[in-house]
Structure 1
Amino acid sequence: MLALRRSAGLARRALHTTARLHIDRHAHEEHERPGYAIPTPFWERALLGVGSALGLLVNPSRGDLLSVLTQVSSFPNIDQLVEQMRATHEGRRLLVARPSINTRTVDLDALWALPDGTFGKEWVRWLRANRVGPDGRCEARHMPTLETRYVIQRYRETHDFYHVLLGMPTSTLGETVVKYFEMAHMHLPVAALSALGGSLRLANDDRRALAQRHAAQHTAQLQQLAPWAVRLGRNVRLPLIGIEWERRWEQPLDALRAELGLDEPPPVVLDVLQAPERTHRARTQVAGRRFFGWPSKVWERHGHKDARHDTRRAAPAGPPADSS
């Protein structure tokens, strides 16, 4: 018992020391650099939005495309998100200090030393189990003002916290459920687009499973989890964008869920600590070049019909040997 208290005390001191050491090393400093922002008129936002949305349908793991889509689609609703942050004392403090959440500003080892069941400890456990990290989410070059840039940065940096609160993994199903939750709570178009795209991908996965005579269960699970996530998103007691999560590392996760009104258990329990499956991309080699994804399937079927791209042809016979 004494050793547990001592480790918790060391963790708290490390957290406070980390905050002091990195107080001037926040990602918003990049947003304030002259020439950082890119003026984006409506037609450019429309092209960027369509292109990034189509790209994410093909490859949902493209974080750069998700960042662009989040920014260009948020213009109609970003002011509402700023007002949500201004509505609480914590949110107003965030707008003044503009802290970041990444490996430079948060000591993950100190959080791991916290007692089991605390928000900070469970967040790091989720990060390690799902093989993800908190870095690389501060891009906001298409937002017009310093406030909107920081709000988008904060929205992207705190996305993983919603996974922990809802008990959702990083699978397609888990991400889609979280997007339904964000859509209901924050009313951002990117959340609605992501929820729609995720639902379509799950339906397609189930179609493939049925074609291969495997059990198709993702759509049925989503039909139970999506209404639950929407209901929780509408009934959250505090604007999540305005919560100072850095002051809640040591709070028990169950108490935090109860405070926010997120303590209703999900109708389908997913394994939040299950390691994500590796994506297997089809590939083939044609004419000395390697192709990945759906183009490889096209080459496999049609590439050999063109003699220029037929790598399976026998090598041309050389001149007859001189028998003399």
Structure 2
Amino acid sequence: MFLKSTLEAASDPTNADAVATTLDISSTLTLTHIQAEMMRTTAGCRILSIKPTTSSHMPDSTYSSLSSFPPNSFGRHYHDFMSSHGFDPHHRPTVKYVDDADLAYILLRYRESHDFYHTIYNLPPTVLGEIVLKYIELLEFKLGGAGLQAVVGSIGLLNEGERRELVESYIPWVLKNFGNRRRLASGVSLLEVFWEEELEEDIDSLRLRLAIEPYKI
């Protein structure tokens, strides 16, 4: 199952079910480490205690209201990203192959936050955009499944021009952001951000606080 899902995810990184299965099976040790790191911070402990989900903290009524938020609010940018691509925030695959309930929640939170990451980093949900986000997730969370998909996808799915853009433009930007976040954001994990409470925040102010420089497309 792991090999099958890995090959499917590598051949199409936009295949949410295959990506989900690969991470479910391969991430237990990393999730344990993430849990320990989150329990060392107030924000991390709060997330693990409340266990927010898009269903519980951003129901359909709240999500629909985001379209009327100020143009530069994080919530408006998020809604515009989702609606323009026909995405539904409540249709992320469930966690099937992680037995520990707390670890399963962390993986679910990571999964449900995926489109928040697309929004805050200004990455399109193209094959190239998904691969770039996997490199970000590899550095941020040390998820081996994300790294495998990033490397295999870079080799097998991108044309020559896209690989050149990845190496010359995207990777330096990813490394710069990672360095800035470690230096300026005090190592605050993206999993410790209560995204549903940031919807009214100006997106530029939120990026400044998280030391994130959006990609200039």
Q: Using structure 2 for the length normalisation, give the TM-score.
A: 0.88
Pick one of 167, 190, 211 that aligns with 1:261: 211
* Contact map agreement 1:119 1:251 (CA 8 A) in 2: yes
- Cα root mean square deviation, aligned: 1.9
1:231 aligns with 2:179: no
In 2, Cα distance between equivalents of 1:59 and 1:180:
16
* 1:250 counterpart letter in structure 2: E
Aligned to 2:97, what secondary structure does the other structure show? Answer: coil
Aligned to 1:107, what secondary structure does the other structure show? Answer: helix
Structure with the greater alpha carbon radius of gyration: 1
Pick one of 166, 174, 181 that aligns with 1:222: 166
Structure 2: runs of 5+ lacking an equivalent = none
Pick one of 180, 188, 194 that aligns with 2:135: 180
Note the alpha carbon deviations across 1:178-207, whole angstroms, 9 max, x for none.
11111111111111012112212344x33x
* 2:97 counterpart letter in structure 1: H
* Contact map agreement 2:135 2:150 (CA 8 A) in 1: yes
**Partner residue of 1:92?**
45
Shift of 1:105: 5.9
**Partner residue of 2:198?**
248
Structure 1: runs of 5+ lacking an equivalent = 1-47, 207-216, 271-324
Aligned to 2:2, what secondary structure does the other structure show? Answer: helix
In 2, Cα distance between equivalents of 1:229 and 1:189:
17
Write the mapping of 1:296-307 to structure 2, written as runs, cut at 5 A: none
**Partner residue of 1:130?**
85
Shift of 1:76: 2.3
Structure 1 residues 61, 185: closer, same or farther in 2, change over 3 A?
A: closer
Task: State the structure with bigger RCO (CA 8 A, min sep 6), 1 or 2.
Answer: 2
Write the mapping of 1:82-161 to structure 2, written as runs, cut at 5 A: 82-102=35-55, 104=59, 107-161=62-116
Q: Using structure 1 for the length normalisation, give the TM-score.
A: 0.60
Shift of 1:90: 2.6
* 2:34 counterpart letter in structure 1: L
Amino-acid identity (%) = 27
1:165 aligns with 2:110: no
In 2, Cα distance between equivalents of 1:109 and 1:185:
30
Higher helix share goes to which structure? 2
Q: How many residues get paired?
A: 209
